[in-house]
């Protein structure tokens, strides 16, 4: 009887050991699910999201931009710090929900890159007089100049994110347009973003929206005087350059014979109000075409949208419209 009892205990011990041997790897892998970890039976693996490495780096760099902006004096830099914190929150929350490890997203980011001066031989004029080239990565200087360089480098690298999933294409496009606007407002000139012509129905639709905005901004100019007239003329020049850029790939805009005024414009105050409404409406209209244009044109579409929506964001801000973390998507 005593011998049988010992046999029974041994069996229970063996069973517990076998269960423990199966449970131990599962527990370990539950803590550490690297993409290159060996496949263990019965343990779920995680499929990386499209362009995960790039998105993780973008999230880290956005946090670094928020810190850099917070260290610069002035209301514009303060606004940019708030904007970058919001961008970081959206990116991080979205990626964590898609099971990207929070530890990867929260790792300390290196200082955001700056854009070096592009070689003149390979530069092409941008829609507002800028040059196009892929930026090199350097350690940025501090202060306003360093922040501007980092914003410009981020805008120039927009095409890097062409491989993101469908659900993030509009978000990534809008984010880089905001970076373009930030760099322009910080320096007074547009950053160097690659410029290649694109076409297709979404480009034609964007050009048509721009054409309508030009018509209404001409009313603004006609009802304005002095500094306001000069600002209206500058906005008209930017929109004309924008439309030229949009039509460079062969797209054809539908040119309406006229566009109704949303309200009577009888004096300078009405004209200023109209300018804000025109540019806010144009920004929102562009938002509907972000995802399909990136889907159709990839990196070229992302670069084009960075320039186009970024230009609209700049002009809207110059008429008193607050900057948006994701212009066109609000």
| Amino acid 128: pLDDT | 38
Q: How many residues does the chain have?
A: 330
User: Is residue 221 within 8 Å of residue 177, measured between CB atoms?
Assistant: no
pLDDT tens figures, 111-126: 555 443 333 323 333 3
- CA torsion sign for 125, 128, 131, 135 is negative
Output the pLDDT for position 41.
Answer: 61
Quick: pLDDT tens for 39-60.
Answer: 556 556 789 999 999 999 999 9
- 235-283 pLDDT, tens digit per residue, is 999 999 999 999 999 998 887 767 899 999 999 999 999 999 999 999 9
Q: What is the mean pLDDT of the chain?
A: 84
Count CA within 13 A, CB hemisphere, residue 146: 18
Instruction: Report d(CA 38, CA 226) in Å as an integer.
Output: 71
């Amino acid at each position: 009887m005593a011998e049988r009892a010992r046999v029974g205990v041994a069996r229970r011990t063996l069973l517990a050991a076998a269960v423990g041997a199966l449970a131990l790897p599962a527990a370990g892998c539950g803590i550490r699910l690297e993409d290159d970890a060996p496949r263990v039976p019965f343990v779920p693996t995680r499929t990386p999201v499209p362009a995960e490495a790039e998105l993780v780096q973008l999230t880290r760099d956005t946090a670094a931009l928020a810190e850099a902006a917070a260290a610069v004096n002035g209301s514009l830099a303060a606004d940019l710090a708030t904007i970058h914190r919001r961008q970081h929150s959206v990116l991080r929350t979205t990626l964590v929900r898609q099971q990207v490890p929070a530890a990867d997203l929260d790792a300390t980011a290196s200082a955001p890159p700056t854009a070096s001066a592009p070689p003149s031989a390979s530069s092409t004029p941008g829609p507002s007089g800028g040059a196009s080239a892929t930026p090199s990565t350097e350690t940025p200087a501090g202060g306003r100049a360093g922040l501007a360089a980092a914003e410009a480098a981020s805008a120039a690298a927009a095409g890097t994110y062409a491989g993101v999933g469908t659900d993030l294409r509009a978000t990534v496009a809008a984010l880089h347009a905001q970076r373009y606007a930030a760099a322009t407002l910080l320096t007074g000139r547009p950053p160097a973003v690659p410029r290649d012509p694109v076409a297709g129905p979404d480009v034609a639709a964007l050009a048509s929206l721009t054409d309508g905005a030009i018509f209404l901004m001409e009313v603004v100019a006609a009802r304005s005087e002095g500094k306001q007239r000069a600002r209206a003329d500058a906005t008209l020049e930017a929109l004309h350059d924008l439309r030229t850029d949009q039509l460079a790939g062969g797209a054809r805009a539908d040119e309406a014979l006229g566009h109704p005024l949303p309200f009577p414009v009888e004096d300078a105050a009405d004209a200023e109000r109209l300018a804000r409404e025109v540019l806010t409406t144009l920004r929102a209209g562009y938002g509907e075409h972000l995802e399909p244009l990136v889907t159709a044109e990839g990196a070229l579409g992302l670069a084009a949208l960075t320039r186009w929506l970024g230009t609209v964001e700049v002009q809207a801000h110059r008429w008193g419209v607050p900057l948006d973390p994701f212009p066109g998507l609000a």
